[in-house]
């Protein structure tokens, strides 16, 4: 996996923006997304911190609205 794809996965996972194979492919353009999506998403879900604080929820709202 290219480093830029890995960096994008980490960034998206931090803000809970990558939850499916389609999102993995769209966000990274990684050619093996379909083949390994299940494993990558499982690692993200296992490693990601839950959305618990209001600050985290506010950041996600800002990203969802396209301000970032």
pTM over 0.75? The answer is no
Main-chain dihedrals φ then ψ at residue 51, nearest 5 degrees: -75, 105
Q: In this structure, is the dihedral angle defined by the CA atoms of residues 9, 43, 45 and 29, taken in order, positive or negative?
A: positive
Supply the angle between the helices 21-28 and 3-14 in degrees, to the nearest 10.
Answer: 120
Closest CA to 18 of 58, 62, 56, 60: 60
pLDDT per position as a tens digit, 18-65 = 888 899 999 999 999 889 999 999 988 887 766 655 555 555 555 555
pLDDT (0 to 100) of residue 64: 55
- The pLDDT, as a whole number, for residue 1 is 86
How far does Cα 56 stand from its chain's mean position? Answer: 14
Q: Which pLDDT belongs to residue 35? A: 92
């Amino acid at each position: 996996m290219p480093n830029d794809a890995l960096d994008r996965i980490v960034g998206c996972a931090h803000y809970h923006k990558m939850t499916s194979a389609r999102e993995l492919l769209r966000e990274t353009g990684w050619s093996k997304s379909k083949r390994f999506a299940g494993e990558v998403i499982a690692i993200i879900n296992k490693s990601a911190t839950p959305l618990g604080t209001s600050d985290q929820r506010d950041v996600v709202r800002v990203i969802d609205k396209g301000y970032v």
